[in-house]
């Protein structure tokens, strides 16, 4: 079973090419600030709304790719980073101007495997020329448009036909693990890192997905597991735990019941799971002074027991006996060091970002041959329960077994 999601559409181009005006035209309302002053849009801004005749989307309005000065370069960097977030790109040009700036944007779209349309805006003033179109033959389509008298129906139709189907649906988190009527046990500790009055997002996502698959969800704290299993005699089809209490869960859950963690579920759901499987054993080959990159895909209050900044580095030190340097990059912030300076990259579950965003986040490391793993998989590895934790997702072959 899959669920609907809102596709991300990014609008890119030079300053004053009418990017914000196009967003307002598509939305049928003034959702983006429009001005004759170049550089009005300073940072990528997400706007969630419904395009008439299309459906709910998230449009990302970006700063001009031709901005100037030191501050302008920072804005350009933010615009370039936004390409990694989108399912479809709209490249806006005017006056048949298509040169190095636009070519660099197109190269970025193609590197990220992002489909794109080229919109020649203000075509009521200067018509699109055929030789301009020949400068970019890989575009899915060229569109003549103007935001004063233009009809957005053609553009909306092109968006509909160009955006990938995967942008509209989210596959099931646990659909390949649970069946109708299965009982799934969720072990959810309430500790200093637990948000007040609610569960963390991966736990909520798991509960919803279990219900969507017509299975039965039982949620309890770690100290209640032993008594619950003893008193009820229930044998769950699957148990999912918070990675931080893997050892307690491993001791409590009988070995004939599959056990994994919320983080590993997300790793399989949206991460590069094959690369994680291959990269996790690199933990055994770390040396004194090696640098580790922790990638958190959200920003949150940092506590003294923070999983990425405190606990995992401590567990790595205890397991390897090595003195390691640890960098933490939060959200989708730019990684400032050369990726090849790292001996290992450890990515969180990525509950706050899309599958495409997470894969784009990992791609530089994978392409450079830097091992990558996931929070839950790294924790399971150093605590000696890695095979059990990943087993629910594998039909282990000889090749895979080399990495387990």
Residue 151 sits in the same domain as residue 21:
yes
Q: 241 - beta bridge partners?
A: 187, 261
- Integer Cα distance of 25 and 147 in angstroms: 6
Give the single-character DSSP code of 276.
H
Residue 230 sits in the same domain as residue 298:
no
CATH number of the CATH domain containing 354: 3.40.50.11410
- Integer Cα distance of 61 and 77 in angstroms: 14
Q: Which residues are CB-contacts of 393 (< 8 A; sequence separation ≥ 6)?
A: 177, 260, 264, 268, 273
Q: Which helix (H) or strand (E) holds 132?
A: helix 130-133
- Integer Cα distance of 58 and 46 in angstroms: 6
Q: What is the DSSP string of 77-106?
A: HHHHHHGGG-SEEEEEEETT--SHHHHHHH
- Integer Cα distance of 54 and 180 in angstroms: 33
Residue 39 sits in the same domain as residue 121:
yes
Residues 264/245, Cβ–Cβ less than 8 Å: no
Residues 65/101, Cβ–Cβ less than 8 Å: yes
Q: Which residues are CB-contacts of 37 (< 8 A; sequence separation ≥ 6)?
A: none
Spell out, as residue ranges, where the chain has pLDDT lower than 50: 2, 32-42, 396-398
Residue 161 sits in the same domain as residue 280:
no
For tokens 């637990």, name the residue. Answer: 194
Closest CA to 10 of 37, 45, 53, 38: 45
CA angle, 344 as apex, 342 and 346 as ends, to 5°? 120
The two three-digit tokens of residue 375, written as one number: 């929070």
Q: Is residue 294 part of a domain?
A: yes
The two three-digit tokens of residue 386, written as one number: 């890695």
Please provide residue 97's backbone torsions phi and psi, each rounded to the nearest 5 degrees.
Answer: -90, 105
In this prediction, residue 194 carries a pLDDT of 63
In this prediction, residue 51 carries a pLDDT of 73
In this prediction, residue 38 carries a pLDDT of 47
The parent domain of residue 312 ranges over 271-401
Q: 345 - beta bridge partners?
A: 293, 372
For the chain, the distance separating the N- and C-terminal CA atoms, rounded to the nearest angstrom, is: 30
Looking at 213, 244, 264, which one is the last position of a domain? 264
Give the single-character DSSP code of 343.
S
In this prediction, residue 149 carries a pLDDT of 80
Q: 61 - beta bridge partners?
A: 11, 45
Residue 161 sits in the same domain as residue 188:
no
Residue 131 sits in the same domain as residue 148:
yes
Looking at 169, 192, 224, which one is the last position of a domain? 169
Residue 35 sits in the same domain as residue 63:
yes
In this prediction, residue 169 carries a pLDDT of 66
Q: Is residue 174 part of a domain?
A: no
Residue 132 sits in the same domain as residue 205:
no
- Integer Cα distance of 64 and 66 in angstroms: 5
Residue 389 sits in the same domain as residue 352:
yes
Q: Which helix (H) or strand (E) holds 21?
A: helix 19-27
User: Number of folded domains in the chain?
Assistant: 3
Looking at 264, 284, 319, which one is the last position of a domain? 264
Q: Is residue 178 part of a domain?
A: no
- Integer Cα distance of 386 and 281 in angstroms: 10
For 222-254, the pLDDT digits (tens) are 999 999 999 999 999 999 999 999 999 999 999
Residue 87 sits in the same domain as residue 143:
yes
């Amino acid at each position: 079973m899959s669920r609907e999601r809102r596709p991300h559409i990014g609008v890119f181009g030079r300053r004053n090419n009418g990017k914000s005006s196009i967003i307002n035209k598509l939305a049928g309302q003034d959702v983006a600030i429009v001005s004759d002053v170049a550089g009005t849009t300073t940072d990528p801004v997400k706007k969630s709304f419904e395009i008439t005749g299309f459906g709910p989307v998230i449009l990302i309005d970006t700063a001009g790719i031709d901005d100037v000065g030191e501050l302008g370069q920072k804005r350009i960097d933010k615009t370039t980073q936004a390409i990694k977030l989108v399912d479809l790109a709209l490249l806006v040009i005017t006056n048949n101007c298509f040169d190095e700036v636009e070519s660099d944007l197109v190269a970025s779209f193609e590197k990220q495997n992002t489909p794109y349309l080229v919109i020649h805006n203000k075509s009521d003033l200067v018509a699109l020329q055929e030789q301009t179109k020949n400068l970019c033959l890989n575009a899915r389509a060229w569109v003549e448009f103007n935001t004063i008298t233009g009809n957005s129906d053609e553009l909306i139709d092109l968006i509909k036909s160009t955006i990938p189907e995967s942008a509209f649906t989210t596959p099931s988190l646990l659909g390949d693990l649970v069946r109708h009527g299965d009982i799934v046990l969720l072990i959810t500790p309430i500790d200093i890192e637990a948000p007040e009055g609610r569960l963390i997002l991966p736990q909520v996502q798991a509960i919803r997905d279990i219900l969507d698959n017509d299975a039965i969800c039982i949620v309890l704290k770690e100290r209640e597991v032993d008594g619950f299993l003893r008193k009820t005699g229930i044998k769950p089809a699957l148990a999912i735990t918070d990675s931080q209490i893997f050892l307690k869960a491993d001791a409590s859950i009988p070995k004939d019941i599959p056990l994994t963690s919320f983080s590993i579920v997300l790793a399989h759901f949206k991460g590069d799971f094959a690369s994680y499987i291959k990269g996790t054993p690199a933990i055994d080959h770390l040396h004194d002074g090696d640098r580790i990159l922790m990638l958190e895909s959200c920003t949150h209050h940092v506590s003294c027991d923070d999983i990425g900044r405190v606990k995992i580095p401590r567990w790595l030190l205890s397991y390897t006996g090595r003195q390691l340097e640890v960098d933490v990059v939060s959200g989708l912030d730019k990684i400032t060091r050369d990726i090849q300076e790292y001996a290992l990259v450890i990515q969180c579950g990525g509950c706050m970002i899309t599958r495409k965003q997470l894969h784009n986040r990992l791609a530089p490391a994978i392409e450079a041959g830097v091992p990558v793993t996931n929070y839950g998989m790294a924790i399971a590895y150093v605590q000696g329960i890695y095979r059990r934790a990943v087993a629910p997702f594998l039909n282990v072959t000889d090749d895979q077994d080399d990495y387990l």
